[in-house]
């Protein structure tokens, strides 16, 4: 808790949260602090070419059981999203060291670059590169929403490391995270044993119309990108409602140009975040949106172009890891439920290369990506204890020849 609060002192925003967009000066200060703490625990630290920081407690033999998460935040982030997972993993190692527990294989903590995708798309970029899902060169060339290049920003903040990507495959990976949604609290359950992560589709939609005088242009002669942006926003809300189930759709960003009171906009740029646990349904939602874009474009006589930012299929976690988390949570006297994750996480990338899973603790009122994000200390501690025993238990997990993702 002390480390969570200390990290939250780096780049604070009103309301107790953080703005630590990936590879900004604020991210650099946060990284420096975590690296200092890793050093204090005697971890061997490696920084790879995409800036992922891996701290390893080199005990025993073989590939490490790894935990970890991210410390970058969205612009209006809370203090727990990601940071909790990184700092709890460090706490697990320190606790073992202090208690004289020597695991049969190394334990490692990963701090993955740009999990949020709020500055550089896609989200989970660092862990994606770590597992070989995106070539390093492509990642280094990604341009931020502020125009900066990822590779240049890594060099600028001193985190363009020398360790090659993809990184070494861990024996197993487990990530502890706040739920960021309302289910655990609503069900009065303390621990979520995460079964899967839903598929994610992000696209940027650019609408170009005819900019003109707001007072003199008759309504019937307008080609208004602002109207079309609003219609798309309403459409995706209705689509999610009609599809029901796990379907969610969000327009989180709207930029109008020139963005002036008395000017019909020339251009609108919006983002669509569309998710479903079922990839077939996610494909259907994407197709319906594409169809609607054509319909509104011709109705208002504007040009619409789209740019894919992210497309990740749903991911299932390893049954043995899920069972292990569930069992340990119960043994420690917690209520526990199996549940999918609505948010994207680094563990979904690690699941491509090693047995992986996640532990959730409740988010008060289900609020996240918001400075008001909060989890009770008693829940944070329960989650960290389960992480400790899960990591130790996974050190003896039998290797599998086949992975599901």
Residues near Mn ion, by CB under 5 A? 81-82
Question: Measured from the CB of residue 114, what is the shortest distance to ligand GLV in angstroms?
Answer: 10
344 binds, among ligand GLV, Mn ion, none (CB under 5 to 8 A by kind): ligand GLV
Question: Measured from the CB of residue 398, what is the shortest distance to Mn ion in angstroms?
Answer: 30
Nearer to Mn ion, 75 or 156 (CB): 75
Nearer to Mn ion, 128 or 268 (CB): 128
Nearer to ligand GLV, 201 or 395 (CB): 201
Nearer to Mn ion, 103 or 117 (CB): 117
361 binds, among ligand GLV, Mn ion, none (CB under 5 to 8 A by kind): none
Question: Measured from the CB of residue 299, what is the shortest distance to ligand GLV in angstroms?
Answer: 31
Residue nearest to Mn ion according to CB distances in the complex: 82
Nearer to ligand GLV, 180 or 405 (CB): 180
Rounded Cα distance between 58 and 139, Å, is 29
Question: Measured from the CB of residue 87, what is the shortest distance to ligand GLV in angstroms?
Answer: 17
Question: Measured from the CB of residue 200, what is the shortest distance to ligand GLV in angstroms?
Answer: 7
103 binds, among ligand GLV, Mn ion, none (CB under 5 to 8 A by kind): none
123 binds, among Mn ion, ligand GLV, none (CB under 5 to 8 A by kind): ligand GLV
Residues that bind ligand GLV (CB under 6 A): 116, 123, 343-344
Question: Measured from the CB of residue 123, what is the shortest distance to ligand GLV in angstroms?
Answer: 5
Nearer to Mn ion, 50 or 358 (CB): 358
């Amino acid at each position: 808790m002390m480390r969570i609060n200390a990290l939250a002192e780096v780049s604070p925003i009103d309301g107790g949260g953080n703005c630590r967009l990936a590879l900004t000066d604020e991210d650099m200060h946060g990284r420096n602090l975590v690296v200092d703490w890793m050093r204090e625990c005697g971890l061997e630290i490696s920084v790879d070419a995409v800036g992922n920081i891996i701290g390893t407690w080199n005990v025993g033999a073989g590939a490490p059981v790894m935990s970890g998460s991210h410390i970058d935040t969205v612009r209006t982030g809370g203090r727990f999203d990601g940071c909790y997972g990184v700092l709890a993993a460090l706490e697990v190692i320190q606790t073992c060291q202090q208690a004289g527990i020597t695991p049969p294989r190394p334990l490692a903590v990963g701090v993955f670059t740009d999990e949020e995708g709020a500055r550089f798309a896609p989200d989970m970029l660092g862990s994606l590169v770590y597992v070989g899902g995106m070539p390093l060169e492509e990642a280094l060339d990604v341009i931020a929403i502020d125009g900066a290049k990822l590779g240049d920003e890594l060099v600028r903040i001193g985190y363009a490391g020398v360790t090659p990507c993809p990184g070494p495959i861990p024996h197993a990976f487990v990530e502890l995270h706040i739920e960021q949604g309302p289910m655990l609290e609503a069900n009065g359950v303390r621990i979520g044993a995460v079964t899967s992560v839903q598929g994610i589709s992000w696209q940027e939609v650019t609408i170009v119309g005819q900019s003109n005088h707001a007072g003199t242009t008759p309504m019937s002669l307008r080609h208004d990108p602002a109207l079309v942006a609003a219609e798309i926003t309403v459409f995706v809300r209705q689509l999610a409602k009609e599809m029901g189930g796990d379907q969610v759709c969000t327009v989180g960003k709207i930029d109008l140009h020139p963005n002036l009171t008395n000017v019909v906009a020339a251009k609108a740029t919006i983002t669509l975040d569309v998710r479903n646990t079922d990839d077939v349904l996610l494909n259907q939602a994407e197709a319906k949106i594409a169809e609607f874009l054509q319909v509104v474009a011709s109705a208002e006589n504007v040009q619409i172009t789209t740019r894919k930012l992210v497309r990740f299929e749903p991911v299932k976690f390893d049954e043995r890891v899920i069972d292990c988390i569930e069992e340990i949570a119960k043994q420690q006297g917690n209520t526990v439920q199996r549940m999918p994750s609505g948010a994207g996480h680094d563990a979904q990338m690690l699941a491509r290369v090693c047995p992986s899973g996640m532990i959730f603790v409740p988010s008060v009122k289900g609020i996240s990506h918001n400075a008001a994000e909060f989890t009770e200390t008693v829940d944070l501690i329960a989650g960290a204890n389960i992480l400790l025993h899960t990591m130790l238990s996974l050190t003896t997990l039998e290797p599998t020849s086949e992975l599901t993702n």
